[in-house]
């Protein structure tokens, strides 16, 4: 019995704070600080230049995107390619920090018209399986310029006058929604 007491007296007692400190920073504090700095620089680069978080603040994209849902905008998605029909994009329609979420339905040079809630592109009906609710929108035909895209939300159950939609220059499109 005295041998057990002697062995425990020889081992240094570890305090709880030392165990926590080693668990948090590891056995090499210098390596941990370098690792943390690398993570901070990586996060700054990714979220400062590539991805932008965005919270949905309206109902114009329901049911595809719900109110208060958080998504990421890939700002580099159109560096090597142009936006395509059906892409959901973030667009600057009202200032630098206000972004709208909209779907591209018309491409440069096309004619777009709403007739009884249905979209027609160059005279042909556009199939839109993502639209679940349609009000009888009637908008006159619009021909898009060489640098314009026609954007609209998926929630077409609301009146057209209550819905921001229309032609937008390519420079206003910030990027493509990831999720």
The conformation of residue 128, written as its DSSP 8-state character, comes to: -
| 4: confidence class by pLDDT, cuts 50, 70, 90 | low
Quick one: CA torsion of 119, 121, 125, 131, rounded to 10 degrees?
Answer: -40
| Paired tokens of 26 | 């590891």
Which among 28, 102, 171, 176 is annotated as catalytic?
102
Which among 8, 13, 60, 66 is annotated as catalytic?
60
Burial (0-12, 13-18, 19+ Cβ within 10 Å), 69: middle
Is 13 annotated as catalytic?
Answer: no
| Paired tokens of 132 | 């679940």
What percent of the chain shows pLDDT beyond 70? Answer: 84
Non-local (6+) Cβ contacts of 91 within 8 A are 99, 100, 101, 102, 151, 168, 172, 173, 174
Q: What is the pTM of this model?
A: 0.75
Q: Point out the least confidently predicted range of 44-48, 75-79, 174-178.
A: 44-48
Name residue 72's beta-bridge partners.
Answer: 53
Rounded-to-integer distance, Cα 121 and Cα 127, Å: 10
| Model confidence pLDDT, tens digit, residues 29-56 | 777 778 888 888 888 888 777 888 888 8
Is 171 annotated as catalytic?
Answer: no
How much is the average pLDDT of 135-145? 91
What is the fold, at CATH topology level, of the domain defined by 56-177? Umud Fragment, subunit A (2.10.109)
Q: Can you give the residue ranges of every domain in the chain?
A: 2-48, 56-177
Name residue 118's beta-bridge partners.
Answer: 115
| Model confidence pLDDT, tens digit, residues 9-21 | 545 556 766 666 5
């Amino acid at each position: 019995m005295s041998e057990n007491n002697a062995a425990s007296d020889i081992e240094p007692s570890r305090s709880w704070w030392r165990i926590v400190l080693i668990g948090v920073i590891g056995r090499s504090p210098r390596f941990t600080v370098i690792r943390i700095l690398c993570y901070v620089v990586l996060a700054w680069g990714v979220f400062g230049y590539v991805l932008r978080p965005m919270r949905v603040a309206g109902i114009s994209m329901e049911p595809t995107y719900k109110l208060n849902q958080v998504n990421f905008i890939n700002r580099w998605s159109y560096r090597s390619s142009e936006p395509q029909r059906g892409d959901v994009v973030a667009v600057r329609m009202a200032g630098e920090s206000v972004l709208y979420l909209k779907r591209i339905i018309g491409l440069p040079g096309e004619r777009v018209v709403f007739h009884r809630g249905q979209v027609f592109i160059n005279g042909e009906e556009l199939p839109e399986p993502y639209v679940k609710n349609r009000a009888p929108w009637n908008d006159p035909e619009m021909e898009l310029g060489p640098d314009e895209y026609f954007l609209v939300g998926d929630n077409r159950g609301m009146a057209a006058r209550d819905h921001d939609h229309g032609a937008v220059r390519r420079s206003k499109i910030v990027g493509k929604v990831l999720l």
